[in-house]
A and B are shown apart, each in its own frame.
Chain A
Amino acid sequence: MIYCGPMLKKIFLFYYNGFRTMTWGRSLWAIILVKLFIMFVILKVFFFPDILERDFQTDEERSDHVIEQLTNP
């Protein structure tokens, strides 16, 4: 078992009790979680790849590609 000092325990309980006793905040958290899921799991993974990261291995290759794009459109 990991030992937590009294201060860490107090901080943990502060957040734990805060979330547990939420009333109107629950629906907000539901919205936040749905939103984060849509953003990071659906949009980022399937629709928004970082093109330069995905298509090139090194910064030099990325530089060459962008220079090519900027000078030979």
Chain B
Amino acid sequence: MIESIDMSLVDWSRGQFALTAMFHWLFVPLTLGLAFIVAFMETIYVRTGDIEWKRITRFWMKVFGINFAIGVSTGIILEFEFGTNWSNYSWFVGDIFGAPLAIEGIMAFFMESTFIAIMFFGWNKVSKRFHLTATWLTAIGANLSAVWILVANAWMQDPVGTRFNPETARNEMTSFWDVFLSETAVNKFLHTITSSFLLASVFVIGVSAWFLLRNRNIMFARRSTVVASVFGIISAVATIFTGDTSARIIAREQPMKFAAMEALYDGQTHAPLVAVGAMRTDTTRIPNPRQEFIFKIEIPNALSYMAFLTPNGFVAGINDLLYGNEEQGIMAYSERVERGAVAINTLKDLKKAKDRGDEGAHAMLVEKFQDPQWINDYYQYFGYGYYKDRSLEEFIPNVKLNFYAFHIMVILGGHFLILSIIALTLSMRNRWGEKRWLLWVALLTIPLPWIASQSGWIVAEVGRQPWVVHELMPTLSAVSRISPGAVQLTFWIFLATFTALFIAEIKILTTQIKKGPEEE
């Protein structure tokens, strides 16, 4: 049905969006986590009156400020792209996306800009407690402003609390709380912020290790390590817990993504979890080659348990989902495509009836979009209809990328937990820093949480392909029909701008870090 769409336009639009989002996400998690670490440090300063804690707080606050300033408003570019490259999508999602983003903008402006000013300009001008309150409110405000964009993203993965209006082609919110408190939204928010806290903790431990390796500012580095490692351990445990919950939600709501994460082609009960593995590609199955393992180490039953909390749980494989599995009650994608095509044609008929002024037919067709049974039987498969004359295998996301991204994220998460535990244990015995190789490990670990965090987003976003709104709108119908050349041009402009900004951040950040904490 959409064979006329230039797939290079879809790919370039997706590439540009991914570039912008991934660049934006270099800054956001450090802001979210460092804000709380600074708040903890300042709290200790206010409670103890120890001037060394003030130095520590001001140093990390400066790092926070640099990261915030370079990263601020890079997310707005995403909104530009919605209007230009994804106009069909922007219209289709309606107020579901607009309302949360508007709230985010207002909250971010009022909370962050007000309290950040007090954080940076208010030292010795406002009382200690007032300053501390501003620091805490900055941390809370920054994290709360992340709620809204994550709620909007969660709705795209699990579109609940809305109704499609066929006359406007927009989704309308029927229940704010269903959207806001959906299991996907709550878990996505918690997993994102706790993993961001972990990222910031690992960053602080790593930078502190650099000072210890240089034998500089020893007390500053040790105290920073203690705060960061405590926060890191708590955050790592919370990240594991929310990640585990996320796996169950994905297994239920987005089983294709779940199967791709584990490269599971044929479903089974007692499904093992691949702990470590490397894949080869059977290139005879183009466009979606089957990925087999060169080697793998498995944990028996673990995948079934992870998905359904029982080893007897049937984990659907890619083939079960694509071609159906009657025994397990899984509808084949070919059937979904047929039903989706019916829904699209109904919308088309409705438009025709309206254009020719046939009020009776128009009213009857509008009624269909309000009938729960018809919605359940046809409209919920709306997006599948765009694949009427396309290969079913286009429904398979990039398995290899998902598999590696998921496993890199999990393995690195384990590494951060172990590092935090070792750093805290040795710090408590005043022995953190004795083994230089451990400090080197901590220092070299600094970039890894960004790799883990970006991998998490790759799993979330690449894993849900081809959907931009799960089962309702594929990327190929969401994209604006503009020239691929225009998208390519802005892609390269972005790449150049973002690279320059990134180099500027690294340069300013390393210069300030090398200076160390200033004397009070």
Contacts and interface: CB of A to CB of B under 8 A. Distances in A.
Interface residues of A, number: 37
A42 to B, nearest CB: 8
B499 interface: no
Interface string B476-508: 010011100010011001000100010010001
Contact of A51 (B73, B74, B84, B512): B84
A65 B73 CA distance: 31
B83 A67 contact: no
B99 interface: no
A70 interface: yes
Contact of B80 (A28, A44, A64, A70): A44
Contacts of A44: 80
B69 A32 contact: yes
A30 to B, nearest CB: 10
Interface in A28-69: 28-29, 31-32, 35-36, 38-39, 43-44, 47-53, 59, 62-64, 66-69
Given A39-B73, A51-B482, A24 B62 contact: yes
A6 interface: no
Interface stretch (B167-175, B368-376, B405-413, B420-428): B167-175
B120 interface: yes
Nearest to A72: B348
A31 B504 contact: yes
Given A18-B117, A27-B508, A71 B77 contact: no
A47 B488 CA distance: 11
B70 A18 contact: no
A59 B77 contact: no
B381 interface: no
A3 interface: no
B92 interface: yes
B76 A39 contact: yes
Nearest to B70: A31
Interface string B227-247: 000000000000000000000
B125 interface: yes
B169 A25 contact: no
Nearest to B482: A51
A28 B493 CA distance: 21
Contact of A69 (B70, B122, B345, B481): B481
Contacts of B84: 47-51
Q: How large, as a class, is the contact surface on chain B?
A: 35 or more
Contacts of A15: 117, 121
A7 to B, nearest CB: 14
A51 B168 contact: no
Given A14-B125, A50-B84, A73-B386, A67 B351 contact: yes
B204 to A, nearest CB: 19
A69 B88 CA distance: 8
A60 B143 CA distance: 37
Contact of B169 (A18, A70, A72): A70
Contact of B501 (A19, A35, A69): A35
Interface string B115-147: 001001110010000000000000000000000
Contact of A73 (B2, B92, B168, B504): B2
B347 interface: yes
A36 B73 contact: yes
Nearest to B349: A71
Contact of A70 (B65, B72, B83, B88): B88
A70 B493 CA distance: 30
B81 interface: yes
Given A25-B120, A70-B477, A71-B347, A52 B73 contact: no
A48 B81 contact: yes
A19 B167 CA distance: 52
Contacts of B90: 52
A63 B167 contact: yes
A53 B91 CA distance: 11
B347 A70 contact: yes
Nearest to A15: B117
B87 interface: yes
**Considering the complex of A and B, which 3 residue pairs feature the smallest CB-CB distances, nearest first?**
A18-B121, A50-B83, A48-B80
10 contacts: A18-B121, A24-B66, A28-B66, A38-B497, A51-B482, A52-B83, A63-B91, A70-B347, A71-B345, A71-B348
Given A32-B72, A47-B486, A66-B87, 18 more contacts: A14-B125, A15-B117, A24-B508, A28-B69, A32-B69, A39-B73, A39-B76, A39-B80, A43-B490, A47-B490, A49-B83, A63-B167, A63-B170, A68-B351, A71-B347, A71-B348, A71-B351, A73-B2
